[in-house]
């Protein structure tokens, strides 16, 4: 079962709650939704993680942890989804967001041979920021909504399938 697999890799909630650097959060870390795997906390975790993953900001893990605390989403899953944008994937993902932003804002790209490297991005930031930010916000919202409702639907479907399977097994 997927729930068992996820539980196997989740950090121990008691260790996280007792960590000395997290004591400033107080009782917020003791909310059961941050640690339990239920339909609502997992759906909120997917939404939070996917939303923050598409934001071109430093400290995404801290941001998503605060978002998960605020929305009472599963903390481990939220943080895991932020790793969608990691050192190997951030360039193609943010380039895609830039291209989406160009399309949505009906703007022309800087040049056909423009390389999306850190130096070029910093040099041309004045021309890049609007389509990049708009594309990132559009994709973060889109993926967050798809993730939230996708998990809600999948969870209901999975539970229904299990109940139907049990019902058929009892009828035999």
If phi > 0 it is left, if psi is from -120 to 50 it is alpha, else beta; for residue 101 that is: alpha
What is the pLDDT, as a whole number, of residue 64? 92
In sequence order, which residues have a C-beta less than 8 Å from that of residue 35 and are 6 or more positions away?
10, 13, 74, 75, 76
Is position 107 within any domain? Answer: no
Is position 39 within any domain? Answer: yes
Is position 30 within any domain? Answer: yes
**Nearest to 142, CA basis, from 104, 116, 88:** 104
What is the pLDDT, as a whole number, of residue 169? 87
Is position 100 within any domain? Answer: no
Instruction: For residue 4, give Cα distances in angstroms to 7, 47, 48.
Output: 5, 21, 22
Query: Distance (Å, rounded) from C-alpha 51 to C-alpha 158?
Result: 25
DSSP 68: H
Is position 101 within any domain? Answer: no
Residue matched to tokens 């934001």: 55
What is the pLDDT, as a whole number, of residue 127? 79
Query: Distance (Å, rounded) from C-alpha 146 to C-alpha 43?
Result: 10
Angle at 154 between CA 150 and CA 159, to 5 degrees: 155
Domain count, the chain: 1
Query: For the chain, percent helix, then strand, then coil, each to nearest 5?
Result: 75, 0, 25
What is the pLDDT, as a whole number, of residue 25? 61
Domain span at 153? 2-87+139-171
What is the pLDDT, as a whole number, of residue 7? 62
What is the pLDDT, as a whole number, of residue 1? 47
Is position 113 within any domain? Answer: no
Is position 127 within any domain? Answer: no
Q: What is the pLDDT along the chain (172 residues), one digit of tens a residue?
A: 456 656 666 666 666 656 555 555 666 666 666 777 889 999 999 999 999 999 999 889 889 988 998 898 998 889 889 998 888 998 899 989 999 999 999 988 876 666 767 777 778 777 788 999 999 999 999 999 999 999 999 999 998 999 999 988 888 7
Is position 120 within any domain? Answer: no
């Amino acid at each position: 079962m997927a729930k068992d697999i996820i539980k196997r890799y989740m950090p121990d909630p008691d260790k996280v709650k007792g960590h000395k650097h997290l004591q400033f959060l107080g009782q917020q870390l003791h909310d059961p939704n941050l640690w339990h795997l239920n339909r609502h906390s997992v759906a909120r975790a997917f939404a939070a993680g996917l939303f923050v993953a598409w934001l071109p900001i430093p400290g995404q893990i801290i941001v998503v942890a605060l978002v998960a605390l605020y929305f009472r989403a599963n903390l481990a899953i939220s943080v895991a989804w932020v790793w969608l944008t990691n050192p190997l994937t951030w360039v193609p993902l943010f380039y895609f967001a830039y291209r989406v932003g160009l399309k949505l804002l009906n703007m022309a790209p800087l040049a056909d041979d423009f390389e999306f490297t850190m130096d070029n991005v910093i040099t041309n930031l004045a021309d890049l920021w609007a389509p990049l930010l708009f594309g990132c916000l559009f994709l973060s919202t889109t993926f967050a909504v798809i993730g939230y409702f996708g998990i809600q639907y999948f969870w209901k479907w999975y539970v229904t399938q299990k109940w139907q399977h049990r019902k058929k097994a009892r009828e035999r």
